[in-house]
Structure 1
Amino acid sequence: MTLPTHARTVVIGGGIIGCSIAYHLAREGRQDIVVLERSKLTSGTSWHAAGLVRRLRPSATLTKLINYSIDLYGALEGETGQATGWVQTGSLTLATNPDRLTNIKRQVSLGRAFGLEAEVVDAGQARELWPLIETDDVIGAVWSPADGRVNPSDVALALSKGAKARGVRFFEDTLVTGLRKTGGRISGVEVGSHLIEAEEVVIACGLWSREVAAMAGAHMPLFACEHFYILTKPLAEVQALGKGTHLPTLNDQDAFLYTRDDVEGLLVGSFEPHAKGLPLDRLPADFSFDLLDEDWDHFMPMMENALHRIPALERAEVRMLLNGPESFTLDSQFMMGESPEVPGLFLLGGMNSTGIALAGGAGRAMAEWIITGEPTMELAEADIRRFGPEMNVLAALEARIPEVLGRHYDNPYPGRAMETARGQRRSPIHAGLVAAGARFEARGGWERAVHFGGAAAHLPLTFGVPKWREQVGHEVEACRSGAAILDQSAFGKIWVHGPDACAFLNRLCTAQMDISVGRIAYTQILNARGGIESDLTVQRHGPETYLMIVGAGEVVRDLKRMRETKGGSRVEFADVTSGYAILGLAGARAHEVLQACSNTRVPQLKRFHFAPVEIGLACGWVGRLSFTGEDGYELYIPSDMAAAAHEALVAAGASHAGLYASGSLRIESGFRAFGHELSPGTTPFEAGLEAFCAWGTGFVGEDALCHLSGESGLETAFQEPSKALDQGVSKRLGAGRRIVSLLFDDPDAIPIHDEPVWFDGRVVGQITSAAWSYRFGHSVALAIVDAALDRLASEPVVDGLEVEIACTRFTARASLKPAKEAFA
């Protein structure tokens, strides 16, 4: 078959992910699809993956994607005649300490939000389920009967066979050597001297994805690590199970191990704490169905753990120590979506050893994204737009990615932070925060101060009462009755200027942008379906000049949305995030302190107004608003003068507060946050933000909201995986859910996020944000629920709700009003 000169869509990569994307594109009716594979189908990582498929995952997105994958893998053999090797074996996850048991119980509770049942069992029951294990140190376990395994190569071949039956053309031994752009948009793929013109190009080539994306000037921050597992020869204990009988997948995360039976023997793999990074220049150019060298010295500590857990391994003959490369991302979540830099170029990679389980769902989600131009389900945690170009720095990837693999099995404690690749982006007042005793976490590459008690008030981490509770309480009080500095310099800043600036922003944003100079508008950016893409404030600095202040992780996605919305508007915009610091100043004494360090009169501003200000030796402007919900200001200062302003504020009596304090106050005040309460699948009606919509201005998403405002409920093709094949990409956005404030009755209840909310005997929603309330001495939370809406609309407080935390239910009261108003 001869390479074509044109294709509607070119998919680069013939592993399980590329085959899945092609299959789903074709199944949705897309024609003229070409898949290019540098070697043979399933080469690279797919062929040596362990093939484990666990339904129960720590997030809603991952769980939905995997549920769909399992349904698909079960159906593919009947459709294509190609076996996938799907076997439902169940899985068993062990706990050898109380925190691990709490964590796996939390996953059981989360699973119930999606109708997944798992059972907490004791050590004796665990041994009945997995007779080969030693359980002397096991204090509990979770049995998940619906999990299983597949043969990765067979799944990829089944997907490719289904794609070929729908007209997709596959070309093996075809190395992509370049990508072509026209007018900044992807326009073709080069294979040596041959050019395939294309309307869309998809990169899904595993280890090589970062380098292929760079051919088009796109950023795809991935890095590879060596990944190890052993295969044994047949063991009598496994053979005794009988032909066709399988052990469940065993997860011993405290020992960094996973295990399953394999050809009458065992496969034992690890996510070892001290992982080995793999620069791609160490691989030969023709690396395909190849493996890396065995490294028994590196694997031996994991082998010792395995020998303790499975004594029968002492008698096993090791067939091989398999060492195969896999690629990972900076935050351990995979990445997918349209490149922010290159329209028409779609990227999917960094599956972090979950690629086989995710392939079906992720391939479908990517196909729908390509076809509709928008994600069709909640994908914020995987969205490529969470990474800016600065996060593609090779030194950062080389330092961080081995830690990502090594901490794969860490308990996800509140306050957990990565230790490598730190200090990449620092606030202009970073040194001053260090001097004040700040404890930092790396978020989106930025060093963010979370509290000011240092390590002594932070460690050890726990799922219970954190060490920082007392320290944060002091910071909360300063935000109320004192004057507390909150460093918000990581917020994005985007200047917008031009004759059409006002009209452009009215099209982009929900709120009215034709406001007076010196005013600040709180607003959202929506997608065409009415879902919230960003949450921001906009300042008007002149007739043709505005400044957008956006969330720290929203700059890339907002700039992409702005480029797509611009059309022929006479407007320019620029990211100036690094050019300005933002210092919040919250509390009853904020004006007093601000005046004390200024030789000019600080105006008594109305809320959501701003004016010029001098702070010590610095100058900038001050806005009357605060994300804490307390009285206060935001100071906007050129970066080179920020340290001087900070020093003046401290000298005038200001103290400091971190993200934990502002988070507690935010939740008490009912303020929504993007990535928590707000997402592309949440409408302003559901979020209670319809008052910030300037109806009639023609903002993006207005037509969808007007059409859907009378409907209720939110449907996605992934909520009922068994029906997903029939639902296509249709989606309904309405107001059948609402964000509510919760106050827990029991002070021992410590929610984190995502916990299921129960009402009238069923799961009706999930926690989106939670914190300790120093006002009430109990935990408070924001949650999105789809029940008791009539009562919530008519009653100030509704009781009868329960929140399940690690398999224990705690009662809570709910209100549509902010907690500090509703429960006072």
Structure 2
Amino acid sequence: MTLPSHARTIVIGGGIIGCSVAYHLARQGRKDIVVLERSKLTSGTTWHAAGLVRRLRSSATLTKLINYSIDLYGELEHETGQATGWIQTGSLTLATNPDRLTNIKRQVSLGRAFGLEAEVVDAKRAKELWPLIETDDVIGAVWSPADGRVNPSDVALALSKGARARGVQIFEDTAVTGLQKTAGRVSGVEVGDHVIAADEVVIACGLWSREVAAMAGAHMPLYACEHFYILTKPLAEVQALGKGAHLPTLNDQDAFLYARDDVEGLLVGCFEPHARGLSLDRLPKDFSFDLLDEDWDHFMPMMENALRRIPALDRAEVRMLLNGPESFTLDSQFILGESPEVPGLFLMGGMNSTGIALAGGAGRAMAEWIIAGAPTMELNEADIRRFSPEMNVLAALEARIPEVLGRHYDNPFPGRAMDSARGQRRSPIHVGLVAAGAQFEARGGWERAVHFGGEAAHQPLNFGAPPWRDQVAAEVEACRSGAALLDQSAFGKIMVQGPDACAFLNRLCAAQMDLPEGRIAYSQILNARGGIESDLTVQRHGPEAYLLITGAGEVVRDLKHMREIRGDFRAEFTDVTSGYAILGLAGARARSVLQATTNTPVPDLKRFQFAPVEIDLARGWAGRLSFTGEEGYELYIPADMAMAAYEALLDAGASHAGLYASSSLRIESGFRAFGHELTPGTTPHEVGLDAFCAMGTGFVGEDALQDHIPARRIVSMLFDDPEAIPIHDEPVYFAGQVVGQVTSAAWSYRLGRSVALAMISGPPGFFSEKSSTADGTWGVEVEIACTRYTARAALKPAKEAFQ
């Protein structure tokens, strides 16, 4: 078969991911598809993957993708004649301490929001389900009967067979040597001296994806790690199960282990705490169906854990210690989507050991994105646009990725943070915050102060009342009655200038942008379906000059949207995030403290106005708004003057507050946040922000909002029991039925109990006054770790509805 000179779509990579993308593109009617594989199909990571498929994940998106995968893997054999090895064995997850038990119970509750049932069982039942294990330290377990496993290579071959049957051309032993661009858009693939012109290119090269993406100048921050598991020869205890019988998949996360039966023996793998990264220059160029060297010294601590849990291993003869590389990402979520830097180049990889389970659903999601030109479902957590180019730094990847693998089984406690690759992006006042005892978390590469009081106020982490509650109480009080200083410098800042700046922004943003100079508009950027792509404020600085203030993780998304719609608009835009600090100053004393720093009068600003201000030796401008919902300002200071302004404000009586305090106040005030209440799948009407949409201005998504009547809404909730500690995603029940999920939660220092925001679905009229109680609230239940807690829900903010 001869390489073509043109293809509509080229998929680079013939593992399970590349085969799935090609299959789903063809299944949806796309013609002229080519797959290029440097070696043979299934080489790389696919062939040595363990093949575990667990339905329940940490989010609705991941769970939906995996459930689709399972359905597909069961159908492929009938369609193609190629077996996939799908076996529904169920899975058993053990807990040996109360925190682990709480975590797996939380997963059970989350599953009920998606219609997945799992059972919490005791140690005796766990032993019945997995007779080979020692259970003397097991305090509980979760049995998930719908889980199973597949043969990864067989799944990939079935997908490739289905793709070929629909006209996809697959070329093995065909290494890509370069990518071509025309006018900034990907336009072709080089295979030695041969060039295949293409309308779009998909990179699904596993370990090599970052390097292939770099051929086109695209960023794909992933990195490889060594991943170990042992295979034993047949064991009498496994053979005793009987022919065709299988054990469930075993997850012993406290011991960093997973296990299953394999050819009458056992497969036991690990996510060891002290994982090892793998630079690709250690691999030969023809690395294919190869493995890394066995390293028993490195694996031995995990082997000791395995012998403790499965005593029969002591009598087993080890067939091999498999050491195969896998790729991981900075935040342990996979990468999917169109490159923000190179239009037409689609990226998928960094599967974090979930590639086999996700391949079917993620392949379909990628195919739909390619065909539709935009995501067709909620994909925020996997979207490549969550990573800025600054995060694709090799030193950061080499430091962070082994920790990501090593903490794969960590309990997801509130306040948990990675230790490696820290300090990459720091606020201009970072040194001052350190001296004040700030406790930081790394978010999007930025060091963000979450509270003060240091490590002593942060540990130990748990799922109950956090150790920082008293510290944050003082910070919240300062935000109300004092003058609390909040570092918001990580917010994105984009300058828009030009004769058509106003018209351009009226196309981009849902709110009216033709506002007077010195005014601030609150707005969203929508997609064509009316979903919210970004949440921002826009300042008008002149007839042809605006400044957009957006979320720290939304800059890449916003710039991509701006490039896509600019067209003939005479407008330029520039990311100026690093040029300015933003200091929030919240509380009843904010104005007096600000005035004490300057000899010039503080402007008498109305809400959503801004004006120049001098702060001791610094100058900038002040905006009359606060994300806390309390009185206050946002102060915008050039980065080189930020420390001078910061020191002057402290000298004038300001105190510190962190993100935990502002989050508590935000949720009390009912303010929505992107990635929580606001997502590409939610509309302004659903989240109560339709009043900010200037209908008739022609903004993207306006047509989708015409006559839009939402069937779901964001509500505020106040829990009745002070012991209820929601985090996020807990299912909400009304009249015994799941009607929604928590989107954000925090402790309310005003009300002395937990408050939350939740997205609730209801039948017509559900949100009317007639359906509520006399005080305008509804009685609901929220399930947290398999326990139901009562709460009241209201459309108004908690601080108004529940006083």
Shared fold by TM > 0.5?
Answer: yes
Q: Which amino acid aligns with 2:169?
A: R
- Name 2:526's counterpart in structure 1: 526
Deviation at 1:800? Answer: 2.4
- Name 2:757's counterpart in structure 1: 782
Deviations 1:81-132 (A, max 9, x none): 0000000000000000000000000000000001000000000000000000
Deviation at 1:793? Answer: 2.8
- Name 1:759's counterpart in structure 2: 734
- Name 2:301's counterpart in structure 1: 301
Deviations 1:423-469 (A, max 9, x none): 00000000110111100000000000000010111001000110000
- Written as runs of structure 1 = structure 2, the 5 A alignment for 1:330-409 is 330-409=330-409
Question: 1:598·1:614 contact (CA, 8 Å) conserved in 2?
Answer: yes
Deviation at 1:761? Answer: 1.1
Q: Distance in 1 between matches of 2:149 and 2:776?
A: 47
Aligned: 1:565 with 2:544: no
Deviation at 1:163? Answer: 0.4
Aligned: 1:679 with 2:673: no
- Name 2:723's counterpart in structure 1: 748
Q: Which amino acid aligns with 1:776?
A: L
Q: Distance in 2 between matches of 1:382 and 1:705?
A: 26
Deviations 1:702-761 (A, max 9, x none): 01111x614xxxxxxxxxxxxxxxxxxxxxxxx111000000000000000000001111
* Alignment CA distance shift 1:176-1:288 (3 Å): same
Give 3-state SS (helix, strand or coil) of 1:683's partner. coil
Deviation at 1:230? Answer: 0.1
Deviation at 1:231? Answer: 0.1
Q: Distance in 1 between matches of 2:38 and 2:764?
A: 55
Q: Distance in 2 between matches of 1:15 and 1:212?
A: 15
Deviation at 1:787? Answer: 2.2
Q: Distance in 2 between matches of 1:314 and 1:787?
A: 56
Deviations 1:214-263 (A, max 9, x none): 00000000100000000000000000001110000000000000000000
Q: Which amino acid aligns with 1:186?
A: V
Question: 2:336·2:383 contact (CA, 8 Å) conserved in 1?
Answer: yes
Give 3-state SS (helix, strand or coil) of 1:738's partner. strand
- Name 2:42's counterpart in structure 1: 42
Q: Which amino acid aligns with 1:801?
A: V
- Name 1:55's counterpart in structure 2: 55
- Name 2:780's counterpart in structure 1: 801
Question: 2:386·2:554 contact (CA, 8 Å) conserved in 1?
Answer: yes
Q: Distance in 2 between matches of 1:6 and 1:572?
A: 35
- Name 2:800's counterpart in structure 1: 821
- Name 1:470's counterpart in structure 2: 470
Q: Distance in 2 between matches of 1:501 and 1:258?
A: 56
- Written as runs of structure 1 = structure 2, the 5 A alignment for 1:13-412 is 13-412=13-412
Which deviates more, 620-629 or 783-792?
783-792
Q: Distance in 2 between matches of 1:276 and 1:492?
A: 34
- Name 2:708's counterpart in structure 1: 709
Deviation at 1:487? Answer: 0.2
Q: Which structure 2 residue ranges, 5 or more long, are not aligned?
A: none
Deviations 1:521-579 (A, max 9, x none): 00000000100000000000000000000000000000000000101100000000000
Q: Which amino acid aligns with 2:631?
A: D
Give 3-state SS (helix, strand or coil) of 2:765's partner. helix
Q: Distance in 1 between matches of 2:778 and 2:667?
A: 19
Aligned: 1:549 with 2:511: no
Deviation at 1:792? Answer: 3.2
Number of positions where the alignment pairs a residue of Structure 1 with one of Structure 2: 799
Q: Which amino acid aligns with 1:783?
A: A
Deviation at 1:791? Answer: 4.5
Give 3-state SS (helix, strand or coil) of 1:687's partner. coil
Deviation at 1:599? Answer: 1.2
Q: Distance in 2 between matches of 1:787 and 1:701?
A: 24
Q: Which amino acid aligns with 2:547?
A: L
Give 3-state SS (helix, strand or coil) of 2:342's partner. coil
Q: Which amino acid aligns with 2:614?
A: E
Q: Distance in 2 between matches of 1:692 and 1:288?
A: 55
Question: 1:365·1:376 contact (CA, 8 Å) conserved in 2?
Answer: yes
- Name 2:444's counterpart in structure 1: 444
Q: Which amino acid aligns with 1:647?
A: E
Question: 2:711·2:763 contact (CA, 8 Å) conserved in 1?
Answer: no
- Name 1:627's counterpart in structure 2: 627
Question: 1:759·1:787 contact (CA, 8 Å) conserved in 2?
Answer: no
Deviation at 1:788? Answer: 6.6
Question: 2:123·2:140 contact (CA, 8 Å) conserved in 1?
Answer: yes
Which deviates more, 256-265 or 60-69?
60-69
Q: Distance in 2 between matches of 1:434 and 1:189?
A: 49
Q: Which amino acid aligns with 1:460?
A: P
Q: Which amino acid aligns with 2:610?
A: F
What is the TM-score normalised by the length of structure 2?
0.99
Give 3-state SS (helix, strand or coil) of 1:87's partner. coil
Q: Distance in 1 between matches of 2:766 and 2:120?
A: 35
Q: Distance in 2 between matches of 1:413 and 1:91?
A: 23
- Name 1:724's counterpart in structure 2: none
Which deviates more, 794-803 or 114-123?
794-803
Q: Which structure 1 residue ranges, 5 or more long, are not aligned?
A: 711-734
Question: 1:793·1:816 contact (CA, 8 Å) conserved in 2?
Answer: no
Question: 1:222·1:327 contact (CA, 8 Å) conserved in 2?
Answer: yes
Q: Which amino acid aligns with 2:298?
A: H
Q: Distance in 2 between matches of 1:688 and 1:602?
A: 33
Aligned: 1:792 with 2:767: yes
Question: 1:498·1:571 contact (CA, 8 Å) conserved in 2?
Answer: yes
Q: Which amino acid aligns with 2:207?
A: L
Q: Distance in 2 between matches of 1:798 and 1:209?
A: 51
Question: 2:536·2:548 contact (CA, 8 Å) conserved in 1?
Answer: yes
Q: Distance in 2 between matches of 1:616 and 1:100?
A: 52
Question: 1:738·1:789 contact (CA, 8 Å) conserved in 2?
Answer: no
Deviations 1:51-78 (A, max 9, x none): 0000011111111100000000000000
Give 3-state SS (helix, strand or coil) of 2:685's partner. helix
Question: 1:791·1:798 contact (CA, 8 Å) conserved in 2?
Answer: no
Q: Which amino acid aligns with 1:812?
A: A
- Name 1:722's counterpart in structure 2: none
- Name 2:582's counterpart in structure 1: 582
Q: Distance in 2 between matches of 1:198 and 1:84?
A: 31
Q: Which amino acid aligns with 2:111?
A: G
Give 3-state SS (helix, strand or coil) of 1:340's partner. coil
Q: Distance in 2 between matches of 1:599 and 1:431?
A: 27
Give 3-state SS (helix, strand or coil) of 1:506's partner. helix
Q: Which amino acid aligns with 1:743?
A: L
Deviations 1:340-371 (A, max 9, x none): 00000000000000000000000000000000
Deviation at 1:789? Answer: 6.6
Q: Distance in 2 between matches of 1:662 and 1:561?
A: 29
Aligned-pair identity in percent equals 84
Q: Which amino acid aligns with 1:641?
A: M
Q: Which amino acid aligns with 2:577?
A: T
Deviations 1:454-490 (A, max 9, x none): 0111001000110000000000000000000000000
Question: 1:792·1:815 contact (CA, 8 Å) conserved in 2?
Answer: no
Q: Which amino acid aligns with 2:734?
A: F
